[in-house]
Chains A and B, each alone.
Chain A
Amino acid sequence: MFDTRQLAQKFTSRITTTSAGLLVAFVLQLTVATARAADQPPVTGKVQVHPETLRLVHHRYDHSLLITGRTADGSAVDLTAHAKLRSADESITKIVDGWVKPLKSGTTKIIIEVAGQAVEVPVESVLSDAEKPYSFRHEVMPVLSKGGCNMGACHGYSLGKNGFKLSLRGGDAKQDIVAINADNFGRRVNLLKPTESLLLTKPLGDVPHRGGVRFARNSELHQTLERWVTQGAKGDMDDKNEVEFVRIHPERFVLEPGSPHRLQLIAHYTDGTTRDVTRQAIFTVNTEGVADVNDVGHVVAKEMGESAIVARFERKFAASRLIVLKPRPSFQPTPAPADNFIDQHVIAKLNDLKITPSELANDEDFLRRVSLDLIGLQPTPEDVRKFVADVDATKRTKKIEELFTRPEFVDHWSLKWGDLLQNSRVRVSEPALYSFREWIRSSVASNQPIDEMARELLVSRGGQADNPASAYYLISKDTNETIERVAQVFCGVRMLCARCHTHPLENWTQEDYYGLHTFFNQVSAKNDPRFVNVPNARAVTLNVAAGFSTNPRSGQAQPPRYLGGAEPKLEPNKDRRADFAKWLTTPDNPLFARSLANRYWSYFFHRGIIDPVDDLRTTNPPINPELLDALTKDFIDNKFDARHLMRRIVTSQTYQRSSAPNDTNKHDVLNFSRAIPRRIPAEALLDSLVQATAVRENFGGAPAGFTAAQLPDAEVTSDFLSLFGKPQRSEACECERDGESNMLQALHLINGNSILRRVTDGNGRVAQLLRQNLADEALIEELYLWSLSRRPTSRELTVAQQHLQTYGPQQKTEAVQDLMWSLLNSRDFVLVR
């Protein structure tokens, strides 16, 4: 049921082992590549055929054979179009357009000749005596999806289109058969004159259709619909056979730019049969520009890069991972360090990609990066000087441990959790805001294991006087919001879609949504009578007698259901949240540790291993599944210790790499082969600016003396913070924090008061340094260290000295102000580099 996880596990087997298993099907094992046709690309090694054997169970379920080879460089070569296919017994199967069509029951084989090799595929055909009638669920519904009829922009829209409403993307066959048959006085489906049914004439374009022509006359889509109508347009709701999952082949492959390759999608049914649904499936490329895919799964590689190619059939999804790569014969694989699993998995992938990672960053860059990432503040000149001068070989590790003990560490990570848990006085009373803030801060300060923190939050009740964590529930306006927040923050799953219809990008249904709902519907928030004079003072109460939530689709009570399908039998009159919390935080929960490990990773890099970090689904596969699996396992093995997880990440070479690219990785922005500079988050940028200039910021709406990282919520007046994307905490999504740059920010930095006022302040850094009467060189170094946490290069020193001399002693103040202004306005200040 856990598509996401299954997929991840499948990815852990590397290509080589998978292909070894295919060899049994080959009778001839020729190793020499010979080009049979002029345009057939050269391949080395054995030709592979998927599947190795065929079992055909339905007169209309033809099957394709995917025939592939490899270049000497390891790129995939699709030989299907070059192969000659022959059926050994043409009374049992015949070849039609390269597909195997069953004719009657029996056993035979398909003989494939390609690239000077011959392969045989044994075939078993087990057909019913008479051809089965057309199935609404298995044949017509996929046509409605493939034709786009049930898309959100068309009849899948919540109000339908032009009086005809289908369930979004075919989520509800029962609803659809009623819609097709019962409406419109028999015009939509005309059993007397089937070809005049609107169901056919509209999508064919025979009569005006606002959705345009959806399929061609005599196409398979057309024929399926027409024959189904001719046979009486019956629903087959009693048929219990369901698609259990779909598999895509190949699951990962490498292509050279311009090369074609086809995909094959096989549906596996609950009755154990399989069906080639490649022609019924819908294919999309996740990253535009890397490749194109057409409606029958033919891929053409375009530019160098990586992308998932997603296939959907009915409600099931599968993703194939494509890498587009040019041959690089001179590439030398990087040896992976034996003692660090992060580096091992990152380098294994980079070697596959023929990428050499960048060198390690120098001490100054490392120190600034790790300080900003762990404590949300630049290092001071003293920090930089001491660190650079330290000759201890383990000084980076020592520094990391030291940063864990800094008070700013608590500020920085409490801010993150405050964002994730959406603590805000818009949602809760002001005393509850501050007490929840303290609760979060003590959890971070004591390094409370994250599973324990989650459990405390999820079973909290009462008001701020009883349990500050109860604010977690008070923040939600209703149970819907609670479960969406729980799923997004603790499972990395976005459930909102499934509130009203099946999720368009993953197999989440309203059963899943309301199954979660039932776990939390005993909660309500009532006014807290102990705080009559406090606006919005409320407390969480629990009605353990509450029944199950109603699934609006079926109108039935939905028993509690974990994300992923299991429906536990719970004792009545108990707090159902406790059971959910236990399920959530068990080590084998596939979503909790995985989503959190991925989320923490993203705080130290420019992206998650899965990105967006809170959008885990089959159709959004991780960029490096082995890395995420290992990181997840390590997080679980170490009992959800967040500091341990951070330590793992920041002590890796992968984290400590320079941002300077080399020839092999300058195009790579996905695989952590170098540091990708990121814009510093709003609060850390402002706090670093305050530290650099020694001029504080006073926020309206927060106690005096609070730093930006310490602010209780976003209800403070600060142009700076809102321009730089501080989230309002109105969403449980990481994406609410805007990490982009924009012109208004630049305008603010160049000409706004944040920098201008600070460099000219009579008690600010510039004034302080001038009072020390330093020589120009020393003065410049101080300015660089305070502003950018590094010393100037010799060229920078020269430019800066020229600048000071040009102004002369009379205008020294002005010149130094200008210099600091310039440094704080440079990209080196704004970026984590």
Chain B
Amino acid sequence: MPQLTRRNLLKSMSLTVGGLSVANLLGARATANPDQPRATSAIFVTMGGGASQFETFDPKPDAPVEYRGEFRAVNTALPGVQFCELLPKLAAMADRLAVVRSIHHEQASHIAEHIVETGYDLINVANSRIGDMPSMGSVISRMRGVGASGIPGYVSIPRHHGYSSPHWLGAQHQFFAVDSDPSQEPFAINNLALSDKLNVDRLKDRRGLQSSLNQTQQVVDRSGAAAAIDQFSQQAFDLITGDRARRAFNIQTEDPRIRDRYGRNTFGQRLLLARRLIEADVPFVTVRMGDWDDHDDLANRMKQRGPMFDTGMSALIDDLRSRGLERDVLVIGMGEFGRTPRINAKAGRDHFPAVNSIVLSGGNYRMGQVIGATDRIAAQVTQAPYRPQNVLAMVYRHLGIDPATTFNDYSGRPRHVLEERKAIAELV
């Protein structure tokens, strides 16, 4: 046996590592769909807690003050359409947005997030923690697989505990979470950016040693369990040490002026990170902005949050356009429900599933329109009623996924990706 120096070991390692890339025994499950015509992707911004329609996209300036609240409505780039004054930048680009003011459902508790995450009402309340159905992100991961960068197909910024379970699609379709805050320095990703204890060279050394030792292990397995472990281990190693993923996550290399435009705050930088990830072939990224649950002191809280949302979203939409991505990327901003028309005793608004306003941009859909309408106090949908499921149908459609596809659940019953899957006709 030749002398194994540390450098030799490294060399022999790299050969062995190459040799491990055997035929992909995992089949279609682990690879992207080759029939996919365009590299479409979506950034889903969840407005957790449920944003008020009044203080965002459906202001009612003519309603009595106890309904309309303290903010003014401002004109937008679309004649006759007004947004709340807290969103001036989005108002100025309303011709590049589609706002749906007629989203509604019947679930007044936060378990309504289940509808937004999965496209299904939560039936089994005993599942109120993990939900009944696979999340949209897990379905997309299953259908679209892992892109060239090796980053999983569903990235959640930050991790979201509600209803994000892959269920019967399998744990490999769980989200890849980015919990740390990209607006802080240094920014590092769990399990990905190398911790200070372990730099790349040392990891490569370890990997080399591991590969040398692995060669001697006698397990020869046709069933695929061992081969699968080797394969996934290789993918993980490539992800950690490979350039593409690390570059995508390395937000520090972004032009500081672009970083400024998104807003130097957690939400803004998370949106920017999402853009970098979809550029690295990730088909679906969720960015969660929680804390919209304004039962009290709504005006002051909205004064904090509204501008952050306005700045981040408008910067994202602009940035995608300047990069020629606006057709390929669909951006959605949506919470689980709207809020009560009448301001309550604590100067807040409570949960209100009968009316919700959401915003979409890009995705090669028809922009520059408001779909649906509500009555004069935004208490009822009066035109073109849609449900969150219809929005999800538009996301799947954009991603080239037929929402009528079925997967067998734990009992063997085929379950549609979406049972209610009618398109929002106005967008097409």
Contacts from A to B (Cβ < 8 Å) = 152, 426-427, 477, 481, 494, 496-497, 505, 606, 615, 659-661, 666-667, 669, 676-679, 715, 722-725, 728, 730-731, 733, 735-736, 738, 740-752, 756, 760, 793, 795-796, 798-800, 802-803, 806-807, 814, 818-819, 821-823, 825-828, 830-831, 833
Interface-facing stretch out of B36-44, B222-230, B255-263, B280-288 = B222-230
B109 within 8 Å of A (CB atoms): no
B24 → chain A closest CB, angstroms: 13
Residues of B within 8 A of A678 (CB): 225
Closest Cβ–Cβ distance, residue A356 to chain B (whole Å): 16
Cβ-based interface call for B198 (8 A): yes
Q: Does B236 touch A at the CB level, under 8 Å?
A: yes
CB distance from B187 to the nearest CB of A (A): 16
Partner of A799, one of B212, B226, B412: B212
**CA distance in complex: A724, B146 (Å):** 19
B5 an interface residue at 8 Å Cβ cutoff? Answer: yes
**Chain B 359-399 interface 0/1 with A at a Cβ cutoff of 8 Å (1 = within):** 00000000000000000000000000000000000000000
Which of B57-65, B83-91, B189-197, B266-274 has 4 or more CB atoms under 8 Å from chain A? B189-197
- Looking at the assembled complex, report how far the CB atom of B6 sits from the nearest CB atom of chain A, in whole angstroms: 4
Q: How distant is A674 from chain B, measured CB to nearest CB, in Å? A: 9
| B184 adjacent to chain A (CB < 8 Å) | no
- The residue on B at minimum CB distance from A798 is B1
Interface residue? B237 (CB, 8 A): yes
B303 CB within 8 Å of chain A:
no
Chain A residues within an 8 Å CB radius of B232: 741-743, 745-746
Given contacts A723-B174, A806-B6, A831-B226, contact A796 B239 (CB under 8 A): no
B213 beta carbon closer than 8 Å to chain A: yes
List CB contacts (< 8 Å) of B298-355 with chain A: none
- Are B236 and A746 neighbours in the complex by a CB distance under 8 Å? yes
> Does chain A have a CB within 8 A of B23?
no
Q: Does B252 contact A (CB under 8 A)?
A: no
B207 to chain A minimum Cβ distance, whole angstroms, is 8
Give the chain A neighbours of B222 by CB distance below 8 A: 661, 666-667, 669
Partner of A796, one of B126, B129, B216: B216
Given contacts A744-B174, A822-B213, 9 further A-B contacts (CB under 8 A): A606-B223, A667-B222, A669-B223, A738-B171, A749-B233, A749-B236, A750-B237, A818-B209, A827-B217
Chain A to chain B: the 8 pairs with minimum beta-carbon distance, closest first: A742-B172, A746-B236, A822-B210, A802-B4, A747-B236, A806-B6, A746-B232, A733-B410
Interface residues of B (CB under 8 A from A): 1, 3-6, 9, 30, 124-130, 146, 152, 165, 168, 170-172, 174, 176, 190-192, 194-195, 197-198, 202-203, 205-207, 209-210, 212-214, 216-223, 225-226, 228-230, 232-233, 235-237, 239-240, 410-414
Listed A/B pairs (10) with beta-carbon separation below 8 Å: A606-B223, A669-B223, A677-B219, A677-B223, A742-B172, A743-B236, A750-B233, A751-B195, A807-B6, A826-B214
A residues in contact with B230, CB < 8 Å: 827
Taking the closest CB of chain B, its distance from the CB of A245, in whole angstroms, is 23
Which of the residues A481, A741, A744, A760 comes within 8 Å of B228, measured between beta carbons?
A741
Distance between B399 CB and nearest chain A CB, rounded to angstroms: 21
Q: Which of B1, B172, B195 is within 8 Å of A743, CB to CB?
A: B172
Contact of A744 among B1, B4, B176, B237 (CB under 8 A): B176
Count CB-based A-B contacts (< 8 Å).
Answer: 184
Return B124 CB to nearest CB of chain A, in Å: 7
B126 and A426 form a contact (CB under 8 A): yes
Task: Tell whether, in the assembled complex, residue B203 and residue A825 are in contact, meaning their CB atoms are under 8 Å apart.
Answer: no
By a CB distance below 8 angstroms, the chain A residues around B176 are 744
- B154–chain A nearest beta-carbon distance, Å: 10
**What's the Cα separation between A669 and B226 when bound, in Å?**
14
Q: Which of B126, B127, B191, B219 is close to A827, meaning CB atoms less than 8 Å apart?
A: B219
- Asked if B219 and A747 sit within 8 Å, CB to CB, the answer is no
Contacts of B194 in A (CB 8 A): 751
Given A426-B129, A747-B239 in contact, is the A760-B197 Cβ separation under 8 Å? yes
User: Bound state CA distance, A760 and B195, in angstroms?
Assistant: 13
Select B4's contact among A661, A669, A806, beta carbons within 8 Å. A806
Q: Which residue of A lies closest to B226 (CB)?
A: A827
CA distance in complex: A402, B284 (Å): 52
User: Given the complex, which residues of B lie within 8 Å of A803, measured CB to CB?
Assistant: 4, 9, 209
Q: Check B130–A733 contact: CB distance below 8 A.
A: no
The distance in angstroms between the C-alpha atoms of A494 and B408, with both chains bound, is 13
CB-CB under 8 A from B124, the residues of chain A are 477, 730
Known contacts: A497-B413, A745-B232. The answer to whether A725 contacts B171 by CB under 8 A is yes
Chain B residues with CB under 8 Å of A659's CB are 219-221
Q: Are A750 and B240 in contact (CB under 8 A)?
A: yes
Query: Chain B CB within 10 Å — which of A666, A744, A752 has the most?
Result: A744
Chain B residues, Cβ within 8 Å of A823:
213
Contact B219 A152 (CB under 8 A): no
> In chain B, what residue has the closest Cβ to A806?
B6
A717 to B, closest residue via Cβ: B161
What is the CB-to-nearest-CB distance from A799 to chain B, in angstroms, rounded to a whole number?
5
Given A736-B410, A742-B172: A677 touches B226 (CB 8 Å cut-off): yes
- Which residue of A660, A748, A760, A799 contacts B191 across the interface (Cβ within 8 Å)? A748
- A203: shortest Cβ distance to chain B, in Å? 21
- B411-A497 in contact (CB<8A): yes
Do residues B126 and A427 form an inter-chain contact, with CB atoms below 8 A? yes
- Could you tell me if A615 and B412 are in contact, using CB atoms closer than 8 angstroms? yes
Given A660-B218, A750-B233, A825-B210, decide whether A744 and B412 contact each other with a Cβ distance below 8 A.
Answer: no
Contact, CB under 8 Å: A756 / B219: no
Q: Which residues of A contact B205 (CB under 8 A)?
A: 818
B172 — which chain A residues lie within 8 A by C-beta? 740, 742-744
Task: Known contacts A660-B220, A818-B206; decide if A752 and B152 are in contact (CB<8 Å).
Answer: no
Is A426 a contact partner of B236 (Cβ separation < 8 A)?
A: no
A679 to B165 alpha-carbon distance, docked (Å) = 21
Q: Beyond A742-B232, A743-B236, A751-B191, is A827–B214 a contact (Cβ under 8 Å)?
A: yes
- Give the docked Cα–Cα distance between A496 and B170 (Å): 21
Set of chain B residues within 8 Å of A505, measured between Cβ atoms: 412
Cβ of A427: which chain B residues have Cβ within 8 Å of it? 126
Please name the residue on chain A nearest to B6 by beta carbon. A806
Measured between C-beta atoms, what is the minimum distance from B47 to chain A in Å? 26
Is A735 a contact of B192 with CB atoms below 8 Å? no
In the complex, chain B residues whose CB is within 8 Å of the CB of A747: 191-192, 236, 239-240
Q: In the assembly, what is the distance between CA of A677 and CA of B222, in Å?
A: 10
Report B227 CB to chain A, min CB distance, Å: 9
CB distance from A475 to the nearest CB of B (A): 8
Q: Can you name the residue of chain A whose Cβ is closest to the Cβ of B175?
A: A744
From A477, A742, A752, A798, residue with most partner B Cβ within 10 Å = A742
Most buried by B among A481, A615, A738: A738
Q: A793 near B216 (CB under 8 angstroms)? A: yes
State in angstroms the CA–CA spacing of A806 and B125 once bound together: 59
Q: Could you tell me if A826 and B235 are in contact, using CB atoms closer than 8 angstroms?
A: no
In the complex the two chains form, is B198's CB within 8 Å of A826's CB?
Answer: no
Q: How far is the CA of A165 from the CA of B229 in the complex (A)?
A: 47
A756 near B216 (CB under 8 angstroms)?
no
- A661–B192 CB distance below 8 A: no
**Alpha-carbon distance between A744 and B172 when the two chains are bound, in angstroms:** 7
Q: Can you name the residue of chain A whose Cβ is closest to the Cβ of B129?
A: A426
Check if B219 sits within 8 Å of A735, measured CB to CB: no
CB contacts (< 8 Å) of B128 on chain A: these are 426
CB distance from A787 to the nearest CB of B (A): 11
CB-CB under 8 A from B130, the residues of chain A are 728, 730
Closest to B177 in A: A719
Residues of A within 8 A of B197 (CB): 756, 760
Minimum CB distance partner of A788 in chain B: B217
A679-B410 contact given A426-B128, A752-B191, A795-B216, CB 8 Å threshold: no
Decide if A676 touches B206 in the complex (CB within 8 Å): no
Q: Which of A723, A803, A827 has the most CB of B within 10 A?
A: A827
Report Cα–Cα, A246/B183, bound state, in Å.
Answer: 68
Q: Decide: B226 and A822 in contact? CB cutoff 8 A.
A: no
Shortest Cβ gap from B111 to chain A (Å): 13
A743 in contact with B225 given A494-B412, A723-B174, A752-B190 (CB within 8 Å): no
